[in-house]
Structure 1
Amino acid sequence: MRIVTVIGNRPQFVKAAAVSRLLRERHDEHLVHTGQHHDDELSAIFFEELQVPRPERQLHISGGTNTDQTARMLAGLGPLLAEEQPNVVLVYGDTNSTVAGGLAAAQANIPVVHVEAGMRSFDRRMPEELNRVLTDHLSALLLTPSQTAMDNLARESVAGRAVLVGDVMVDVALLFQPRAKADHHPLRDAGVAPGEYVLATSHRAGNVDVPERLRKLVDLLLAGDEPVVFPLHPRTGARLDAAGWLDELQEADHIRLAPPLGYMAFTSLLTNARAVLTDSGGVQKEAYFAGVPCVTMRDTTEWVETVDMGWNVLVDLDRDAAHAALHRTPPAQRPELYGDGRAGERVVAAIDDLA
């Protein structure tokens, strides 16, 4: 079959690392990079480190509101799909690129395959929640990472066929996390030692685009004296700079600001951290895979199993709750929640069945 895969951000590059190579052994896949994450140098690092095939097409669409960005992606993808004439369009996750790829395909009567289908935070304030719900309801084949996701789709009576394949990010983690953990160069660059620091990330619009919440984030990070490594997402850095609060973080002795990192450098810091503080869905999962306790700066999560198992705690931006959660004792057990590392194979098998 001829397959167009639409990707646009770094977590989708990671997911494609588990699928594209296997998919290309049986099918003709063309990768389309929308440009949603537009830092070309860092994107190139992800493709090189993870051995993802280079995109055949790049749309260079970034910036603007969610509505504007999605509209521009639709305008770019419509003619592209008419030209490529794929049998299937494959999308991952919950970004603007996901819903734009799915909607453009569905409107052209091309079957949509959604990898990481069925995830729900039940928070419609989040653009990601809207994107994942809409994509699920226009997809022909919904490939889920967990039984919880299957249950969500059954409850919503989606029209497409749902298949439990596991999480493709487990495949990548099993392959790369051991090697990354053994490489301490990123720790030395940050001036920290294994097990003696917290890794923090924040990029959600609900946290960084609202001044009152951004201030709470700064206060949360400034509290305490344990080393905190904080790779700055471009949007977060811009918002902090505009508000005049970036200097406070730069001057704090315990905070190590870092530029955006490639997959291996970030994974090195994650796997060697004592704990993780984040608002990212993907980082919550990667922390679980690595056996690192996670504290999530949101009041909802789509990865509810990590909370149920005690490895993840939701604290929103409550400083006291966050620091109490960071010092809890992790559970003794860490069940295999999201598969055995062969999700990519099951994705391809499900697409074969669709053919």
Structure 2
Amino acid sequence: MQKIILVAGARPNFVKIAPLWRAFSKYENVETVLVHTGQHYDDTMSRVFFEDLGLPQPQYNLDVRSGTHAKQTAAIMSGFDDVIAQVNPDDVVVTGDVNSTFACAIVAVKLGVRTSHIEAGLRSFDRSMPEEINRIATDAISDLLFVSEKSGMQNLKKEGVADEKVHFVGNVMIDSMAFAQPSIENSGVLTDLELENQVYALVTIHRPSNVDDFERFKNVVDWLFELSRQITLIFPMHPRSLSQFNKLMKEKAPHSDPGSRLRIIPPQRYVDFQRLLKSAKFVITDSGGLQEESTWLGVPCVTLRKNTERPVTIEKGTNILAGENLVMANNAVQDCLNRKVHTGELPDLWDGLAARRIAKILVRR
């Protein structure tokens, strides 16, 4: 039996490992072991994702929870070292760019276990982002690199990575979206939130560049309140953002403008969030994955970041990079409201079959 460990730690990882688990499960000579590092541990950030994506409960949960980057990474490395000793795997597969990705990759590589990085080669070229450091480091040490868009191929070539290590396979996140479409259509979230037949936009803001600087976050929230006088805004608020939002609301009386339609809701399970996204007029975000998901659905996306590691979503998709300039962001939103944006096209190999391609490469014959 070929033993393959799939690592997940944070919400985006679950979406990416689900199609891999299904693809590997079709091979009789493969034993797939799921490891949850516990980097995200709230039910709406973790457990319900396993349910929505058809994943079994992980065989191992390291339960590392929150902490500084150093402490969290160290705790994951220590726990994962014990897992490898028990499982003795042939392969370790990591996805994305969170601390769990790099921590588990470096442990596996040092123990001589073949290590694969899914979503390799993505670069924002902004080293102030912790995710960028994780991407670069994980790509540098991994044995096999599976790329979701052609910019990843170009970046790895510029970095001197050998061609035989790199495989352009498409986007596993799209595999999950395609798989979950029936459940997404059956979600009752629009009814629950009284949004059926309503026009609204979806908001997700959680990155340090928009949230940790209190003045910047205040400006973003003030803009959202103003924008919500034109269109209902649904904001499933990440814990990082909620903490700052609560501080902001203590500093001044809660917004009492009767024309404001900014609705703060808890983080949503996967199928409910995807239903909200699918029916939105547009989305405002700083998320990487949401740039991809909105492109696949043809939903206009305004990204509040100076850069993106997913340039194909701009070149071919629906993504508009607004930078940190809220005037520019507002202009992009007005274009969305006035239907002056295009619906984009699908990037190459975003066809729901990426995990199958990866399995054909990884599984021994």
TM-score, normalising length from structure 1?
A: 0.93
Q: Percent identity?
A: 37
Contact 1:180 1:264 in 2 (8 A): yes
Q: Which runs of 5+ in 2 are unaligned?
A: none
User: 1:117: which partner in 2?
Assistant: 120
Q: Which residue identity is paired with 1:322? A: A
User: 2:330: which partner in 1?
Assistant: 323
User: 2:314: which partner in 1?
Assistant: 307
Matches of 1:290 and 1:207, distance apart in 2? 25
User: 2:71: which partner in 1?
Assistant: 68
Q: Which runs of 5+ in 1 are unaligned?
A: none
Shift of 1:337: 3.8
Instruction: Flag the 1:70–1:250 CA change in 2: closer, same or farther, 3 A.
Output: farther
Q: Which residue identity is paired with 2:282? A: A
Shift of 1:58: 0.3
Contact 1:181 1:272 in 2 (8 A): no
Contact 1:195 1:273 in 2 (8 A): no
SS in 1 for 2:35: strand
State whether structure 2 residue 95 is matched by structure 1 residue 88.
no
User: 2:10: which partner in 1?
Assistant: 9
Matches of 1:197 and 1:249, distance apart in 2? 22
Which region of structure 1 is more displaced relative to structure 2, 304-313 or 6-15?
Answer: 304-313
Could you report, residue by residue, the CA deviation over 1:24-60 in whole angstroms, capped at 9, with x for unpaired residues? 2321111110111110355221111110121100011
Contact 2:109 2:141 in 1 (8 A): yes
Contact 1:69 1:96 in 2 (8 A): yes
Instruction: Flag the 1:320–1:166 CA change in 2: closer, same or farther, 3 A.
Output: same
Shift of 1:195: 6.4
Matches of 1:245 and 1:311, distance apart in 2? 37
User: 1:163: which partner in 2?
Assistant: 167
Shift of 1:311: 1.6
Matches of 1:219 and 1:278, distance apart in 2? 16
Matches of 2:197 and 2:234, distance apart in 1? 12
Matches of 2:318 and 2:41, distance apart in 1? 33
Contact 1:195 1:274 in 2 (8 A): no
Instruction: Flag the 1:333–1:301 CA change in 2: closer, same or farther, 3 A.
Output: closer
Contact 1:63 1:69 in 2 (8 A): yes
TM-score, normalising length from structure 2?
A: 0.91
Counterparts of 1:82-231 in structure 2, within 5 Å, are 82-158=85-161, 161-177=165-181, 179-181=183-185, 183=187, 185-194=188-197, 196-224=199-227, 225=229, 226-231=231-236
User: 1:234: which partner in 2?
Assistant: 239
Instruction: Flag the 1:257–1:346 CA change in 2: closer, same or farther, 3 A.
Output: same
Find 1:341's aligned residue among 329, 352, 357: 352
Counterparts of 1:231-270 in structure 2, within 5 Å, are 231-244=236-249, 251=256, 253-270=260-277
Runs of 4+ in 1 over 4 A off after TM superposition: 245-252
Matches of 2:265 and 2:100, distance apart in 1? 27
SS in 2 for 1:112: strand
User: 2:58: which partner in 1?
Assistant: 55
SS in 1 for 2:120: coil
Could you report, residue by residue, the CA deviation over 1:207-263 in whole angstroms, capped at 9, with x for unpaired residues? 211212211221221122110000011111112213436976775631111101001
Shift of 1:191: 3.4
Shift of 1:324: 1.3
Shift of 1:172: 1.6
